[in-house]
């Protein structure tokens, strides 16, 4: 028995397997990594749409293990499934796209958190809102801390623009990708750090 | 219960071993198709897998089943054999031994798997046991029973 194998043939065979898996409807979670000015992003989608964006400072292995547990263990690297997401993000980072047109899969957030995130999804490019406003739009104005934690747990950052949510008074608040990234995104969108246009 | 890792990890960790074993079992030409069939079957069953502690043994068992299917479909050897036939082959390759093949295929599942894993994949008893989900003694017994039956069938 010879276990010395030609990696090229294996790679080709694996590609063929993935095509067949997708055709058979077995590709529950597809993922890839994409370059960004901030470092590599992890992008993951289901048949419903984009389900997870991992920021450069987040551990991809952990995110994938979490997807395996919470969505489906049928998780496969399949860059082709994320071509459109990657294309739109590239344009966004180049300042050439002010509205993502991607189907989203919200299943990783439930209840109040999902309502907060859906409200955040409607904040236009280049504008900011406060955590208080987001809490109100999600149906509970007093749940400001919960709204903040919903932002912090946003599974689809960048595309669902939680970086556009600031503290009342204009302080940056927090960001899963680190405050310098939040600041840079707001600058990219033409919002100066510390000024709120809401 | 060990949580199931993303299937991509399973593929990354075990694809070379599965391919190596399939090349041994069905030859280069059949190996690619058997490889895809193996991982498709694994992916189909994966979410319902109870125990993620021996993914390699699980995959090898599926691979052997696919190799058996392949030989059945082709109706020809090479196949995992306990003993190499003594007759000389015309072209330097062992003659297909359809009788032995049919006999292996007709063994009860545990014996068949034990024989295939021992002589096809060259696995030690402990790993056969892990693959079959039984004790090493039980694996040894399945192997022994399988070989005994083959000898009787082919005598």
pLDDT at B85: 57
Examine residue B24 and state whether it is found in any structural domain, yes or no: yes
Confidence category of residue A1, pLDDT binned at 50, 70, 90: very low
B138 inside 8 A of chain A by CB:
no
Residue A116 has pLDDT above 50, yes or no: yes
pLDDT at B98: 61
Q: What angle do CA A68, A71, A72 make, to 5 degrees?
A: 55
Residues 6+ apart with CB under 8 A from B99: B154
Mean pLDDT of all residues in A115-122: 96
Query: In terms of pLDDT, which residue wins out, B92 or A123?
Result: A123
Return the CATH number at B59: 1.20.140
Q: Supply the pTM of this predicted model.
A: 0.76
Examine residue B64 and state whether it is found in any structural domain, yes or no: yes
A14 inside 8 A of chain B by CB:
yes
Cβ contacts of A3 on chain B, cutoff 8 Å: 16-17, 20-21
Q: Which range marks the domain in which residue B140 is found?
A: 7-83+97-154
Give the integer Cα–Cα distance in Å for A162 and A156.
9
**Catalytic residue positions of A, numbered:** 162
Nearest CA in chain A to B44: A26
A 46-105: CB under 8 A from B: 64-65, 67-69, 72-77
pLDDT at B135: 82
pLDDT at A153: 92
B81 inside 8 A of chain A by CB:
no
pLDDT at B73: 82
Domain count, chain B: 1
Q: Give all domains of chain A, ordered by start, each with its CATH number.
A: 9-93 (3.30.160), 111-188 (1.10.10.10)
Q: Quick one: how far is CA A1 from the chain centroid?
A: 45
Cβ contacts of A65 on chain B, cutoff 8 Å: 3, 5-6
Residue A2 has pLDDT above 50, yes or no: no
CB contact under 8 A, B8 and A16: no
pLDDT at A27: 96
Examine residue B37 and state whether it is found in any structural domain, yes or no: yes
Residue with tokens 């509205």: A99
Examine residue B134 and state whether it is found in any structural domain, yes or no: yes
**Tokens standing for A17?**
């397997």
Which residues in chain B come in under a pLDDT of 50?
92-93, 95
Mean pLDDT of all residues in A114-142: 95
The three-class DSSP label of residue A54 is strand
CB contact under 8 A, A75 and B6: yes
pLDDT at A103: 98
A19 inside 8 A of chain B by CB:
no
CB contact under 8 A, B8 and A77: yes
Mean pLDDT of all residues in A23-43: 97
> Could you give phi then psi for residue A165, rounded to 5 degrees?
-105, 125
Nearest-CA distance from A69 to chain B in Å?
A: 7
Cβ contacts of A73 on chain B, cutoff 8 Å: 4-7, 46-47
Examine residue B89 and state whether it is found in any structural domain, yes or no: no
CB contact under 8 A, A74 and B47: yes
CB contact under 8 A, B20 and A1: yes
Examine residue B110 and state whether it is found in any structural domain, yes or no: yes
Tell me what percent of the residues of chain A surpass a pLDDT of 90.
87
Examine residue B47 and state whether it is found in any structural domain, yes or no: yes
Give the integer Cα–Cα distance in Å for A104 and A50.
5
Residue A174 has pLDDT above 70, yes or no: yes
């Amino acid at each position: 028995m010879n276990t010395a194998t030609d990696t090229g043939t294996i790679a080709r065979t694996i590609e063929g397997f993935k095509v067949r898996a997708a055709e058979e409807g077995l590709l529950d979670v597809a993922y890839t990594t994409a370059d960004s000015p901030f470092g590599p992003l992890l992008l993951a989608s289901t048949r419903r749409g984009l389900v997870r964006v991992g920021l450069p400072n987040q551990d991809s292995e952990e995110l994938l293990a979490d997807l395996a547990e919470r969505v489906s263990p049928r998780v496969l690297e399949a860059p082709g499934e994320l071509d459109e997401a990657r294309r739109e993000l590239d344009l966004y980072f180049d300042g050439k796209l002010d509205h993502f047109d991607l189907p989203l899969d919200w299943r990783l957030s439930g209840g109040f958190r999902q309502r907060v995130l859906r409200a955040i999804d409607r904040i236009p490019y280049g504008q900011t809102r406060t955590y208080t406003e987001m809490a109100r739009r999600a149906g509970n104005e007093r749940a400001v801390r919960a709204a903040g934690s919903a932002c912090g747990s946003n599974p689809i950052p960048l595309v669902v623009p939680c970086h556009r949510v600031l503290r009342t008074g204009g302080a940056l608040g927090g960001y899963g990708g680190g405050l310098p990234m939040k600041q840079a995104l707001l600058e990219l969108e033409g919002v100066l750090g510390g000024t709120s246009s809401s | 219960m060990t949580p199931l890792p993303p299937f991509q990890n399973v593929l990354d960790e075990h694809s070379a071993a599965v391919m190596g074993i399939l090349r041994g079992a069905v030859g280069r030409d059949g190996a690619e198709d058997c490889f895809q069939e193996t991982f498709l079957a694994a992916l189909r069953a994966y979410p319902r897998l109870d125990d993620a502690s021996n993914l390699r043994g699980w995959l090898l068992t599926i691979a052997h089943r696919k190799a058996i299917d392949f030989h059945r479909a082709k109706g020809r050897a090479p196949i995992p054999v306990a003993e190499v036939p003594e007759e000389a082959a015309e072209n330097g390759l062992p003659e297909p031994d359809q009788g032995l093949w049919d006999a292996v295929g007709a063994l009860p599942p545990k014996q068949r798997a034990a024989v295939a894993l021992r002589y096809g994949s060259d696995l030690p008893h402990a790993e056969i046991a892990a693959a079959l989900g039984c004790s090493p003694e039980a694996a040894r017994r399945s192997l022994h029973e399988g070989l005994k039956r083959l000898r009787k069938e082919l005598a």
